[in-house]
A and B are shown apart, each in its own frame.
Chain A
Amino acid sequence: MRDLKVRFDGEAGPVQVVRGVSFDLERGATLGIVGESGSGKSVTSLAVMRLLPKPAGVIEGGQVMLEGRDLTAVSPAEMAKVRGKRISMIFQEPMTALNPVHTVRRQLGESYELHHPEMSPVQVAQASLKMLVEVGIPDPSKRLDEYPHQLSGGMRQRVMIALALACRPDVLIADEPTTALDVTIQAQILKLIKRLQREKGMAVIFITHDLGVIAELCDDVVVMYAGQLVERASAKGLYGSPRHPYTRGLLDSIPRLDSVRKTRLKTIEGMVPDFSSLPPGCAFQNRCALVEERCKAGPVALEAPGAGRLSRCLRWKDLK
């Protein structure tokens, strides 16, 4: 992804919500995108899929290259062939992503019919059943003829994953897939995604606000704040020595099992700035403890504090 920019045309005028995001994803790797609500992480993934709400969401600039082809430039018909077959997506709330009036069989079959029209109905049925087995759904032949509302939250998410993986995509985008689930179910789903990724050699982009989930799953991590990439690092590097005060603040503010009880947590004071009134200079300046005059002067460029690392902070050297 190169310098992606997304604009939303709202009632109050156009607002740029993704302000130049770049990253690379290698085959078979897992990239985590972490950020709070309004950081632009979900919009980034919707832009990759060309699924931005119309007509409000517009890709203003930048490129999304999939093996040399720019997905922002292909025709809608060609994009439909990419979706599901090359890149798939799973969403936070499977109940709203699945069609409530179709059975699991019909929804799974649809993706085969779309991308593999040569398959016979019998083959489609066999492939659908096999997918449900792969995602660990008990009693799969019975589940095929059920409707989404008859399934539990964890089962629905498994069906979503089966749908996404039906045509063996090269890239899976998972947008907060476990946020609505209980922790014991979350652990099951994360384990499932990890196993399927290894078996199928696909790359995964995992979007979440939960730094714990990222740590367990991802090779590399991108931290987003106010529509920009503020830090990029390997998972080890990020948790061991964050190079941006926002990342540092996030890590410090999570209560951990081994932290001393009833002590005050470190916080990031203040709130995420509104997109319509972003300050010139660093977007994090109003909440940052290290802020200086030069941070407010103009846009802060990405610096490279180490091999494979990026930080959008002028003072990353001063972070302990």
Chain B
Amino acid sequence: MSGSLLEVKGLKMHFPVHGGLFYRQVATVYAVDGVSFDVRPGETVGLVGESGCGKSTLGKAILRLYDPTDGQVFFEGRDLAHVHGKELRMLRRDLGIIFQDPYESLNQTHTVGFILEEPFRIHCVGTPEERRAWAKDLLKKVGLPESAFERFPHEFSGGQRQRIGIARAIALKPKLVVCDEPVSALDVSIQSQILNLLLDLQKEMGLAFVFIAHDLAVVKHVSDRIAVMYLGKVVEFSDADELHHKPLHPYTQALLASIPEPDPSKSVEEKPFLEGEVPSPRNPPAGCRFHTRCPFAQPRCRTDIPELKAGPGVAPEHLVACHYAGELKPKS
């Protein structure tokens, strides 16, 4: 697709499992198994799915924190999956990542100032004085007092630590930031502060986000487009509002129905819900991976893998991977 900042094509990330005598490879985890999507400059693409669906692995594979098994990741036309050394380091200036756990992702033995100057040091930009000034600017940008500069991460609360993590991610003015569950470890009242900060920074700096989370309501609020993942595959990819109003894949429909809403008129007992659990990505089901839990599954779903393609009766950019998309009546 032209005009894309990031284009992921058929990305696969498999992990070998070793064990037994001689530590041979005994199995493979198909964490990400043939995923394609794109991100345009300045937009947010949400990746949503349950634990084990491969959304975090995908986020890390995009940034080459893992070496993908197969597929391509084009960033401004260059394939991130196959560049090395200096070239990769140069490309990484334009990429950032925010992690879920602000307790584990910040080095406890360094001051906040040191942590924030580090990106500049690694990429050899500026003099020590300049770096210091930039780091202080970053603190202001994410709403922390300048006094934070000399302090250590453990002196801050979860929300403030996440602000430090965000400041570090945007230090080099990247074009794309992968946010891996940035608010799931935070309290409700702090969560909205961080989401607002991300929205403000996006507007101000023209950042594109890949926003990974399990909470569909949060993802929908910040995203322009959303990719729903299930067991290593994208099952639906569409404009965020359209996904909410016209979900085509039965998994998306179930996910939407399962969200507890702050409205006491809707009792949990009247809601449709999914039976069963997510199968293991070590041994994913043949055919459509969702067929073991799908209330509409037909014999064909057990053998044929559905392709991600334009759905019937919806906007052309609304993609869905279901043989019977559009023929299913959403349960209400």
> Which A positions have Cβ atoms within 8 angstroms of B?
36-37, 152, 154-155, 182-188, 190-191, 194-195, 209-218, 235-236, 238-239, 249-251, 253-259, 261-262, 264-269, 271-272
Q: Count B interface residues, CB 8 Å.
A: 51
A246 to chain B, nearest CB (A): 9
A257 to chain B, nearest CB (A): 5
Give complex CA distance A195, B261 in Å.
19
In the complex, identify which listed stretch (B192-200, B298-306, B315-323) lies at the interface while the others stay far away: B192-200
13 more A-B contacts (CB under 8 A) besides A154-B277, A209-B187, A261-B240?
Answer: A182-B50, A182-B51, A182-B278, A184-B273, A187-B260, A194-B267, A209-B188, A214-B262, A216-B260, A216-B261, A254-B262, A258-B244, A259-B221
When the two chains form their complex, are residues B260 and A215 in contact, meaning their CB atoms are under 8 A apart? yes
- For the complex, is B235 an interface residue (Cβ under 8 Å from A)? no
Q: Which 4 A-B pairs have the closest CB atoms?
A: A212-B260, A255-B221, A253-B192, A182-B50
Give complex CA distance A211, B192 in Å.
14
Give complex CA distance A267, B274 in Å.
33
Which of B50, B195, B220 is A183 in contact with, Cβ under 8 Å? B50
When the two chains form their complex, are residues B259 and A253 in contact, meaning their CB atoms are under 8 A apart? no
Residues of B within 8 A of A194 (CB): 267-269
Closest to B50 in A: A182
When the two chains form their complex, are residues A264 and B196 in contact, meaning their CB atoms are under 8 A apart? yes
When the two chains form their complex, are residues B266 and A255 in contact, meaning their CB atoms are under 8 A apart? no
Residues of B within 8 A of A210 (CB): 260
Interface residues of chain A: helix, strand, loop or mixed (majority): helix
A119 to chain B, nearest CB (A): 32
> Which B positions have Cβ atoms within 8 angstroms of A?
44, 50-51, 157, 159, 187-193, 195-196, 199-200, 214-218, 220-224, 240-241, 244, 254-269, 271, 273-275, 277-278
In the complex with contacts A187-B258, A264-B196, A271-B190, A257-B264 CB distance below 8 A: no
Closest to A253 in B: B192
Residues of B within 8 A of A154 (CB): 277
Closest to B159 in A: A271
Give complex CA distance A251, B189 in Å.
9
Residues of A within 8 A of B273 (CB): 184, 187-188, 191
In the complex with contacts A36-B187, A187-B268, A257-B241 CB distance below 8 A: no
Give complex CA distance A186, B51 in Å.
13
A256 to chain B, nearest CB (A): 6
When the two chains form their complex, are residues B189 and A267 in contact, meaning their CB atoms are under 8 A apart? yes
Residues of A within 8 A of B254 (CB): 184
When the two chains form their complex, are residues B217 and A256 in contact, meaning their CB atoms are under 8 A apart? yes
Residues of B within 8 A of A152 (CB): 277
When the two chains form their complex, are residues A256 and B193 in contact, meaning their CB atoms are under 8 A apart? no
- Give 9 A-B contacts (CB < 8 Å), ordered by A residue: A36-B188, A37-B187, A182-B51, A187-B271, A191-B269, A191-B271, A256-B262, A257-B261, A264-B196
Give complex CA distance A115, B265 in Å.
39
In the complex with contacts A250-B189, A253-B188, A257-B217, A264-B266 CB distance below 8 A: no
Closest to B222 in A: A262
In the complex with contacts A36-B187, A216-B267, A182-B214 CB distance below 8 A: yes
In the complex with contacts A185-B277, A256-B261, A269-B193, A264-B188 CB distance below 8 A: no
B186 to chain A, nearest CB (A): 9
Residues of B within 8 A of A266 (CB): 192
B51 to chain A, nearest CB (A): 6
Highest count of chain A CB atoms <10 Å: which of B261, B265, B271? B261
Residues of A within 8 A of B220 (CB): 255, 257, 261
Residues of A within 8 A of B50 (CB): 182-185
When the two chains form their complex, are residues B199 and A264 in contact, meaning their CB atoms are under 8 A apart? yes
B151 to chain A, nearest CB (A): 16
